[in-house]
Structure 1
């Protein structure tokens, strides 16, 4: 098999972790109404069932650093695939299991653990196998897989629910929605046994023969020699340095920069739009209940198309230019939505604002954050540092998810001045902070090897 083909195949397999990230996150949106009716959930319990997976995501991201360093990036992904599969099976509560909300939550948390591990391990694995001139576009495969998963799960839950009556959906339709995830999760688990271990991890574990063999399969012999030399030189230099002090000014500074950048991705408001899209369309934009699902599919489709654009431009234009362009688009999009809400002139401009925001995020902060996190940290701290940054992102996701409805339904937001627009102006403020932070602290990493990037921080 040609190295280029082999590289594309193993990238696609590892990116399935992103697909399951999107699928598992989205499946609860289609199932929650029916299972809420089945279990007669009050609003507090409904929020707990939906949000419980985020606890698993946070714990999974924290533990992924240790797992990926101790057992390797590949084995970490295998663990995540097993968790996805168990969660998908158990969330449907097979007939021989006692039916209870607590048991459902337990399986949702297991799925969250899988998401947390995959969200750290998959982009890092891709970055460590990719040549420098293709690394940006290949890591973007991961974000592309997330939005494909999110898009397809909307279609899957729509068609499952559409072909059943309301009573049937309440009785067992929601189970089928969860079980539909068994197909991609089982495929992910099987295919992972055919991908190689990360060559950089093998070198770190002092297994250079295996590492070089993998590099040859991925890059061909000539490029493999160059990559192997850079990796070995980096490891030799690091072994001469004292034991890593994560609280030293240099190391702590790198981790803080990566962590803040990761958190800012969530403070754009992306998951407020994705999680509460139906509420935004129904309450803020005046769409009827029958139109909400179609609008959600439209959001997912726009997300998908513009992620493709990012994929083909991130290595051409660089990481920072995409962030700047995307942030301007996000500001304009939310400004359109905010102004039309304030002026009580909700209509086509409001919808354009939401779609412009989604498109701008999809071509900038969506993929670029994963690209930068996977490549900006030095080899010897990559696992731990990325684990911290991704865990902080999940914590930020939780904060936005919890406080968006609070701010959105507050008396201040509903007064005659704001008319429901306040949350979007808050998000605009954070997006402006992203522009400033990127300009001041984020290096351009285009076309640089992972070892060359260490010199930037030094």
Structure 2
């Protein structure tokens, strides 16, 4: 019992990085509705303010690989917690310090650095500690934390915004929304000091005794000894610190598969819905300004519930079945939204379509991609390969966040036959590609140790 509690504590603390991921990316959703009015932003400039953090995410993910090799997963997460804290305060600078669009962008980029570092290190850290039979569920805690972050921030922005008049929200309410992130960021920073270092990183650095001690605390003496033998066998071939030919045919193929899967997660359109949910509810679905934040809570609640479903099925059904089921659901959801938009019959069915999409994503591409990325790469290349895949994901996220408001506002999209539906049909095309890539290239990793998964690529 003590071992399971200890393991759960480790996963919960590291998954707080996911909560801040969700909180930091979600807070802009409620805040941008008012800061757009405060700064009188054009569609293009609004896209820049919203998407600027993603540049930080991209850079953060790139530096996360060498950073995690050099100082370890745990210390990398501590650095990310500091970035989150600085960003939360700076994004809502009080009127004593005249806030400008440029300053806001700078602090959003700093927050993005925190997300980039955490999004690569947190799931990898959990995967390197968790026993193989529950690893999928443990890594899914990270995605659960992300959606909890979205849910909590939507509640926070709703209650902050609902307690103020529209004029007050435009003047200073959005600042308070950013500052609300200071609570989880401080908590994350403090709790990180009580978790152990990754046993596989310790082994990479030649600290076998420390690595074995961590494994014993988690798995018990017998299983820890067996796992340590497998880790050493894997690392004896080569390790993160050795010279590895990343452009060799075999290794490049593994990295490419993981990177494509990571990018496709964003091309489902999930963050277009999450970042611009307020705009979608107001413009596409016809809700009034007073209702949009409440609708965001409904969206986040569905996301949360179906992430729980994924958490309890990913180790039972496997990774690939969830990807297939979720892809079908996402297509149905966007078809329902797209057809109602085309027929100019926007209403309850349109909202149901959005919620079906969110539920299907939360069941599949949301958690399963993070599980696969954290476990599919061999020990010798895991840090660098995951860094590349996560950086590519943030680059794709940036492309979607920048292009979505432009496409939504385009003349082609707002005239017949599309009538506002074009972006959702584009997303459907990418979801069909996910089905193909999953069938053709993605291994089933359920129940296998990280070292056993390496054998799939040999």
**2:86: which partner in 1?**
86
Task: Supply the distance in 1 between the matched residues of 2:210 and 2:291 (Cα, whole angstroms).
Answer: 55
Q: 1:11-90 alignment to 2 at 5 Å?
A: 11-90=11-90
Distance in 1 (alpha carbons) for counterparts of 2:110 and 2:224: 38
Pick closer, same or farther for the CA change 1:41–1:286 going to 2, 3 Å.
closer
In the alignment, which residue of structure 2 is the partner of 1:408? 408
How far residue 111 of structure 1 moved from its aligned partner, in angstroms, is 0.5
Q: CA deviation at 1:26?
A: 1.1
SS at match of 1:133: helix
**2:155 corresponding residue in structure 1:** 155
Question: Does the C-alpha gap of structure 1 residues 440 and 42 become closer, same or farther in structure 2, counting only changes over 3 Å?
Answer: closer
Residue 188 of structure 2 is matched in structure 1 by 188
Secondary structure of the residue aligned to 2:194 is coil
Cross-structure match for 1:332: 332
Pair 1:350-2:350 in alignment: yes
In the alignment of these two chains, the number of paired residues is 458
CA distance in 1: counterparts of 2:358 and 2:386, whole angstroms: 25
Whole-Å separation in 2 of the counterparts to 1:411 and 1:167: 31
1:242 deviates by 8.1
Structure 1 residues 277 and 173: alpha-carbon distance in aligned structure 2, compared to 1, 3 A threshold:
closer
Change (3 A) 1:407 1:46: closer
Per the TM alignment, residue 124 of structure 1 is displaced from its structure 2 partner at its CA by 0.3
Deviation track 1:396-426 (CA, whole Å, cap 9, x = no partner) reads 1111112222222323223322222222111
Q: Normalization by structure 2: what TM-score?
A: 0.96
In the superposition, relative to structure 1, how do residues 60 and 437 fare at CA in structure 2: closer, same or farther (>3 Å)? Answer: same
Cα deviation code 1:79-105 (max 9, x no counterpart): 000110111122221466453332222
Q: Partners of 2:35 and 2:270 in 1: how far apart?
A: 25
SS of aligned partner of 1:268? coil
Q: CA deviation at 1:361?
A: 0.5
Deviates more, 1:192-201 or 1:266-275: 266-275
- Distance in 2 (alpha carbons) for counterparts of 1:284 and 1:100: 30
> 1:146-192: CA deviations, max 9, x gaps?
00000110111111122223343334322221111111100100000
Name the residue aligned to 2:258.
258
User: 1: CA distance between counterparts of 2:107 and 2:53?
Assistant: 9
How far apart in 2 are the matches of 1:215 and 1:92?
43
TM-score by length of 1: 0.96
Q: Deviations over 1:183-213 (max 9, x none)?
A: 1100100000100000000000000000001
Question: What is the CA–CA distance in structure 2 between the aligned matches of 1:341 and 1:100, rounded to whole Å?
Answer: 37
In 2, Cα distance between the equivalents of 1:91 and 1:217?
41
Q: Distance in 2 between matches of 1:342 and 1:99?
A: 41
Partners of 2:349 and 2:202 in 1: CA distance: 53
Aligned twin of 2:364:
364
Aligned CA distance change for structure 1 residues 352 and 100 (closer, same or farther; 3 Å): closer
Q: Deviations over 1:225-270 (max 9, x none)?
A: 111111111111336x983100000000000000000000111111
Q: 103-112 or 416-425: which moved more?
A: 416-425
Q: Which shifted more, 89-98 or 395-404?
A: 89-98
> For residues 290 and 81 of structure 1, what CA distance do their matches in structure 2 show?
34
CA distance in 1, matches of 2:287, 2:36: 23
Q: Provide the residue aligned with 2:137 in structure 1.
A: 137
Q: Classify 1:161/1:329 alpha carbon distance in 2 versus 1 (closer, same or farther; 3 Å).
A: same
The answer to which of 386-395 and 155-164 deviates more is: 155-164
CA distance in 2, matches of 1:405, 1:333: 20
Secondary structure (helix, strand or coil) at the match of 1:380 reads coil
How big is each residue's C-alpha offset from its partner over 1:325-376, in whole Å with a ceiling of 9 and x where there is no partner?
Answer: 0001111111111222222332322222111111000000000000000000
User: Once the 2 structures are TM-superposed, how far is the Cα of residue 304 of structure 1 from its aligned partner?
Assistant: 0.4
Change (3 A) 1:73 1:377: same
Structure 1 residue 33: deviation in Å? 3.5
Q: Secondary structure at the match of 1:246?
A: coil
After alignment, is 143-152 or 34-43 more displaced? 34-43
CA RMSD, 1 decimal: 1.8
User: C-alpha separation between the residues in 2 aligned to 1:382 and 1:23?
Assistant: 27
Deviation at 1:127, TM superposition (A): 0.4
Bigger mean CA offset, 250-259 vs 267-276: 267-276
Q: CA deviation at 1:379?
A: 0.4
- SS of equivalent residue, structure 1 residue 308: helix
Counterpart residue number, 1:207:
207
